[in-house]
Amino acid sequence: MSERNIPGEYTLPDTLAKTEIRSEQNPFIIAQSQLDETASYLKLDPATHQLLRWPLRELHITMPVKLDNGTTRIFHGFRVQHNDARGPCKGGIRFHPDETIDTVRALAAWMTWKTAVMNLPLGGGKGGVICNPKKMSPGELERLSRAYIRQAGSFVAPEKDVPAPDVYTNPQIMAWMADEYSMLRGYNEFGIITGKPLPLGGSAGRNDATARGGIYCVREAARVKGIGLQGATAAIQGYGNSGSYAHKLAEKMLGMKIVAVSDSKGTVFNPDGFTHEDLMAHKKRTGSVTGFPGTEPLSNEALFELDVTVIFPAALEGAINRNNAPRIKAKIIAELANGPTTPEADIILRNNGCYVIPDLLCNAGGVTVSYFEMVQNSYGYYWEEEEIHHRLEKKMTDAFSQVHRTAGQYGVHNRMAAYIVAVERVAEAMRLRGWV
Ligand code: NAD
């Protein structure tokens, strides 16, 4: 749907209507169409709908950075604040060669919906720098990270917009950014950013938070669907941070048997299952899951067609699409990745009785523990890991129940239900504040 097809009396001036790439693949156009569909279920008034289609604020920055060879290179970056009606914006900073303003806008909007579906008192933001961190030295990355904060430092603040790590950024980069921000302020303000190392105010329980949140959701989905998980099988696409922790926690917390795992180099399969400990030892030794003794190789596509109870997509967008969705036999899809299922596949899966736990909910454990980090930073008192797990479990199960109930009420699939919950909450905050 283009901007001009939206319901209601508003049309946009051409300058505002311009997005960078006018294509169906443009993530910002996709994010806007998802909102448009939700707005029609909620019968949103045109002003609320229009306001939510666009970021409230955007910052475009240009940064000179000294390279190791003595030359200066100019980098471009962004910070987008999509909506802060419910609280300060929250969202990662990505360092990526293909970053565009539209990717950052879409990701900022998705953060607004993710924080709202989790009922966190936060809004949605995102940042990005066009660069290739794989080709930069640690010194160059440090200078770029500090340059980003020198330019964007007045746009963010603990009460206003709190960044975090994302694609190709990590706790060390967060530490440099927190330091630069503190130097600019003249006092330590580590709460400016989350995902920090523990000695600089990071939170216990952040490393496995995304997978742990997803595991709580799988447990709840199995309960509502009457599926037994003890000894049941699962397959995991992607064996990075979220996928490998999902293996560990599905074994430990749910008693499940993981029978197939993939990474970018291939898929390994053993119908009797294999342990996280053994596979991680192999991956550390060889750099990949492939060639793991006692398993047979499969094509990456075949992983989705296995007769397993749960599939965890934990790698890429669009992994489940109209081509493979009809052949999926799993009873539950737990979306640890962002955007792994296309809209056509959502409908096919629902018609086939497969229970999809949408990304907005399933992978929200990460931002929830980031929020716990903000809270701990603000009162300078730190919780034990068990406390974090307990609070995360409560947040995840409450959000799960709300989305499950809403899907029933509106007769829609879970993803639309998550959007309905989220958009309704943000719209209500905007109404109460008198914005619309
Ligand atoms: P990661 O980089 O640690 O791991 C990604 C894994 O996917 C790697 O093992 C890689 O080899 C594998 N992979 C890449 N292409 C593949 C392919 N074609 N087939 C199979 N495997 C492939 O990333 P991550 O942090 O685990 O994130 C994975 C997904 O989860 C992303 O969509 C990310 O946005 C989402 N996510 C992560 C977090 C988090 O806290 N890490 C939070 C929310 C969402």
Residues 307 and 329 sit within 8 Å (Cβ to Cβ):
yes
pLDDT band at residue 30, thresholds of 50, 70 and 90?
confident
**366 C-beta closer than 6 A to ligand 1:** yes
Residues 260 and 254 sit within 8 Å (Cβ to Cβ):
no
pLDDT band at residue 275, thresholds of 50, 70 and 90?
very high
Q: What is the 8-class DSSP label of residue 237?
A: E
Query: Number of helices (H) and strands (E), helices first, in the chain?
Result: 14, 12
pLDDT band at residue 112, thresholds of 50, 70 and 90?
very high
Whether the predicted pLDDT of 9 surpasses 80:
no
pLDDT band at residue 24, thresholds of 50, 70 and 90?
low
- Mutate which of 236, 263, 268 for ligand 1? The one with the most ligand atoms within 8 Å of its CB, which is 263
- Mutate which of 321, 336, 369 for ligand 1? The one with the most ligand atoms within 8 Å of its CB, which is 336
In this structure, how many other beta carbons lie within 10 angstroms of the beta carbon of residue 109? 28
Which residue spans within 180-323 are E strands per DSSP?
A: 233-237, 257-263, 266-269, 296-298, 310-313
pLDDT at position 23 = 58
pLDDT at position 6 = 41
pLDDT at position 17 = 44
**240 C-beta closer than 6 A to ligand 1:** yes
Helix, coil or strand: residue 110: helix
Share of the chain above pLDDT 90, in %: 90
Protein fold of 56-191? Rossmann fold (3.40.50)
**Domain extent listing, the chain:** 56-191, 209-362
Whether the predicted pLDDT of 10 surpasses 70:
no
d(CA 328, CA 150): 49
Residues 146 and 180 sit within 8 Å (Cβ to Cβ):
yes
d(CA 333, CA 341): 10
Q: Please indicate whether residue 126 is annotated as part of the active site.
A: yes
Give the residue from 232, 235, 204, 238 showing the smallest Cα distance to 219.
232
How far is residue 239 from each of residues 99, 156, 294, measured CA to CA in Å?
Answer: 24, 33, 18
- Which ligand 1 atom sits closest to the C-alpha of 267? 20
Question: What contacts 55, CB < 8 A, 6 or more positions away?
Answer: 80, 81, 82, 83, 105, 108, 109
pLDDT at position 339 = 87
**214 C-beta closer than 6 A to ligand 1:** no
Tokens of 152: 């964007």
pLDDT band at residue 26, thresholds of 50, 70 and 90?
confident
Q: What integer best gives the mean pLDDT of the chain?
A: 93
User: For the residues 287-297, what does the mean pLDDT come to?
Assistant: 97
Residues 129 and 75 sit within 8 Å (Cβ to Cβ):
yes
- Which ligand 1 atom sits closest to the C-alpha of 263? 21
Helix, coil or strand: residue 111: helix
> Could you report the per-residue pLDDT of 254-263, keeping only the tens digit for each?
999 999 999 9
How far is residue 424 from each of residues 34, 42, 123, measured CA to CA in Å?
Answer: 14, 7, 14
**239 C-beta closer than 6 A to ligand 1:** yes
Share of the chain above pLDDT 70, in %: 94
The better pLDDT of the pair 13, 20 is held by: 20
pLDDT at position 7 = 40
> Could you report the per-residue pLDDT of 304-321, keeping only the tens digit for each?
999 999 999 999 888 999
- Mutate which of 94, 118, 206, 242 for ligand 1? The one with the most ligand atoms within 8 Å of its CB, which is 242
**27 C-beta closer than 6 A to ligand 1:** no
> Could you report the per-residue pLDDT of 216-237, keeping only the tens digit for each?
999 999 999 999 999 999 999 9
pLDDT at position 343 = 84
Q: Do domains 56-191 and 209-362 have the same CATH topology?
A: yes
Select which of 114, 126, 257, 331 is catalytic. Answer: 126
Which superfamily does CATH assign the domain made up of 209-362 to?
A: NAD(P)-binding Rossmann-like Domain (3.40.50.720)
> Could you report the per-residue pLDDT of 59-101, keeping only the tens digit for each?
999 999 999 999 999 999 999 999 999 999 999 999 999 999 9
pLDDT at position 20 = 53
Give, for 57, the enclosing helix (H) or strand (E): strand 57-66
Residues 222 and 231 sit within 8 Å (Cβ to Cβ):
no
**300 C-beta closer than 6 A to ligand 1:** yes
- Which ligand 1 atom sits closest to the C-alpha of 336? 30
User: For the residues 413-435, what does the mean pLDDT come to?
Assistant: 97
> Could you report the per-residue pLDDT of 336-372, keeping only the tens digit for each?
998 899 888 989 999 999 999 999 999 999 999 999 9
pLDDT band at residue 15, thresholds of 50, 70 and 90?
very low
Calculate how far, in angstroms, residue 343's C-alpha sits from the geometric centre of ligand 1. 20
- Which ligand 1 atom sits closest to the C-alpha of 243? 26
